[in-house]
């Protein structure tokens, strides 16, 4: 049984750990955290293009607001296959209170 298994079982026990086991445990934790962070970074960098309806739901605004924002240059859609789509990075910018 390794240290991770002991932690997952939830029992309150006292253990003696060799330095080699402690180093292996730390390495496993670091590698797991690194993989999780890499997935977060990759997913944040992947650009998605939600529809106007989806953007309205995300920002809690009406379609007329999106139309006004387009006229003002605040949030402009792109044409993809004849359909209006918005860059998710632009939507996140608005959610974070940023301006162009």
pTM here is: 0.55
pLDDT digits 0-9 by tens, 7-16: 788 778 888 8
Three-state helix/strand/coil letters over 76-96: CCEEECCEEECCHHHHHHHHC
Dihedral over Cα of 21, 3, 11, 36: its sign: positive
- Residue 55's nearest CA partner among 81, 76, 82 is 76
For 78, phi then psi, to 5°, come to: -115, 155
pLDDT digits 0-9 by tens, 40-76: 888 767 788 999 999 999 999 999 999 999 999 999 9
Q: Do the beta carbons of residue 87 and residue 45 sit within 8 Å?
A: no
Indicate whether 39 pLDDT > 90: no
Helix (H) or strand (E) holding 83: strand 83-85
Average pLDDT for residues 82-88, to the nearest whole number?
93
d(CA 86, CA 80): 10
């Amino acid at each position: 049984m390794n240290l991770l298994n002991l932690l997952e079982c939830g029992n309150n026990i006292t253990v003696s750990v060799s330095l080699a086991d402690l180093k292996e445990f730390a390495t496993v934790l670091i590698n797991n955290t690194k993989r999780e962070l890499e997935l977060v970074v990759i997913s944040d960098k992947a650009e998605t293009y939600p529809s106007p309806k989806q953007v309205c739901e995300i920002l809690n605004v009406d379609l007329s607001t999106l139309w006004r924002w387009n006229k003002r240059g605040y949030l402009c859609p792109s044409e993809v296959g004849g359909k209006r789509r918005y860059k998710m990075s632009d939507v996140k910018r608005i959610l974070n209170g940023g301006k162009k």
